[in-house]
Structure 1
Amino acid sequence: MDSASLNAIDAVVGNDHAVISADDGNVVATVQEALCNGRSATFYISSIQAAAVKSWYWTPRRIKERGMEPVSREERYRIESDLGIRDIGTSYSNRIRCECGSVYGAFEFIQQGIREHGKDAVDAALDLTNAYILRVNPATDPVCASCQERILVGHEYDMAARYGCCRSE
């Protein structure tokens, strides 16, 4: 490990976060434990580790139950033209309905991400080449773009090898 890597780790730990280094099996077990016990955490893991978690979690039954489907060409175009986000990869998302009647899908997820974190942060997350961001039991609920109310039913997404979500319920 070089000094730049250690400096990056020191900066992360300096912001009251942890960095854990372990073999693939231990990392996957840690993610599974957090998921199964309802703990909220964000993991920055390798694509191999993410693939192991996703193959364990995203069973055909769960995909069907959660209503996961590929993001349509139309929604991809809208994400690019309206939000300026160029490539979200091969994405899957469920579409949940707010009590006001509006639908929350991939477009609204990215729009909320830009609102909460800024476009630069969203672009940076999508530009990662070595890390997969996996949010487990996220503490942040989707917020309806129309009425601004929190939607209590979970939105789930998988943006290629870049960003994903799993909820224990």
Structure 2
Amino acid sequence: MKLDPPRSFMKEQAFMNLSKKNMSFEDVFNHIVRFMEMDPQGNYRLIVGTDSQVHKFHTIFVTGIVIKREGKGAWACILPVKFPKKFLNLHEKISMETTLTEQVALLFDDERKNELIDIVLPHLYRGSSFSIEGHIDVGLEKRSLSRFLANEMMARIESAGLEPVVKPESFVASGYANRYTKQPKRFLKYE
């Protein structure tokens, strides 16, 4: 069984957040556009990050998408994916998290990125900004078990056109997405 989900698979998945279920990627993108249009002079960070949790017979991967307006709030959603396999090898697990982050980030193609940039572009001289980050659930500290994977995963995220961010700053992967991997029955209807 091939576990690397193609982009068409990613587009067909249901994104969700606390207020809305079963969003298409187009719905997600439209929410992001509306959020940015409310304050086009803001400083925006579009962030994608994935975390996972191994359960008894499967592994849940949750990818978070967050549009953060510095100092003025955020809008966020998740994409949960269940694999009928226990990912016990750390490299394999972190690599799949990175793959899912890359796949979701690739949904923001050049046309969509340009549409988001065009929102803040007229206000750049007033301090507006827009960046895209890929949050990775690895750390660089000596005590981190994943530190030997950090350079590889950072290079992958960078090659996908994202600014790589690792722990402790990778809050979308290690905080937001992580929260939803622990008790998936609270928000998933798959069992």
TM-score (norm 2): 0.28
More strand as a share of residues: 2
TM-score (norm 1): 0.31
